[in-house]
Structure 1
Amino acid sequence: MPVPHIRTATLDDEDVLGRLDRANWSPLHAVQPRPEPPYESFYNERFGPQDHLVAEIDGELVGYIKLGYPTSLACNTHVRQIQGLVVADAARGTGVGRALLRAVQERARRLGARRITLRVLGHNAPARKLYESEGFVVEGILPEEFLLEGEYVDDVLMGRFL
């Protein structure tokens, strides 16, 4: 499998990112309901292209990762938070998620972050395994934080120093 090319998203990527996001929606990782038409714009006032890294294989966009701040507090700006990671079904297990994770950690370091965090649903074992393999550790658990499709699911906070 070819190595994914990682780059910053552009305005031209918006439609493809929206389709990728909708096509890969799953209760395994989503707390929002399944998107229905009319679809909202992928980018918004809070997150634009500069907040996303995308992965391409052979010119096809196959994944993205979104980086933001965990809060709006000035005293918390040394921490960045991964606020979305999506890999196309066809590209799962090929190293795309790992490449995006490594690239976003490097970006966070360049931006002056000392730590990076993320939240993952407790039942999302594949994602948790990937994060742990990249040095993230469980820092907190909110038991039964979400009710998804009739099941209570933990919200797991993971993080690592950069």
Structure 2
Amino acid sequence: MATPLDEYEEAEDRYIAAATGRALAVEHWLLSAADDSSWARSEWRESGVALLRCGTLFGVIRISGEVVRAAAGTEDPYGVDAFLARAMLGGPVFTDTVTRRYYVMVSPSTGSRSEWTRRSDKDAEYLGRSHYLGVPSVHATSPDGPRAYWCVPMAGAGELASAEAVSQLLSVGRYRLACTEEASC
């Protein structure tokens, strides 16, 4: 007869197997954006970051850390990560802890939206077809780990953030920065 501990361990094993399967599916999906998937997989093992092509499977909106942290209302990386998970509705986001920039993965069609075709903001930029980007391994999910990590890991292959959620994050962050500078809000 199964004990509650046995049932718990079986449920935990199923959860781990499902999470491993999702990570593997996401990894394979991301690798299809690499010029050479074997080389990209090797880069992930050796440096934790692989160079992937933007604009076919996904586009990326690069946002300054200053705007993201202002929107989140905190400098704490764990607090920022939790905020991003809510604000991006679970859409994938990774960061480079050295440059302190955040990268939100969106649909490639996002680049054709008027807000990105006519924009020359220094705090946010759409990266599409003419860009390659260092993307962290799907296993890098902690600010205590490597240089680049997933603040909000991909929930599944091809599951991207909404362009509207990114626009709202930018509006909130810019507003809070303006209020800080003018101290009149």
TM-score range, shorter chain: under 0.3
TM-score normalised per structure 1: 0.26
Scaled by the length of structure 2, the TM-score of the pair is 0.24
- Structure with the higher helix share, 1 or 2: 2
Whose Rg is larger? 2
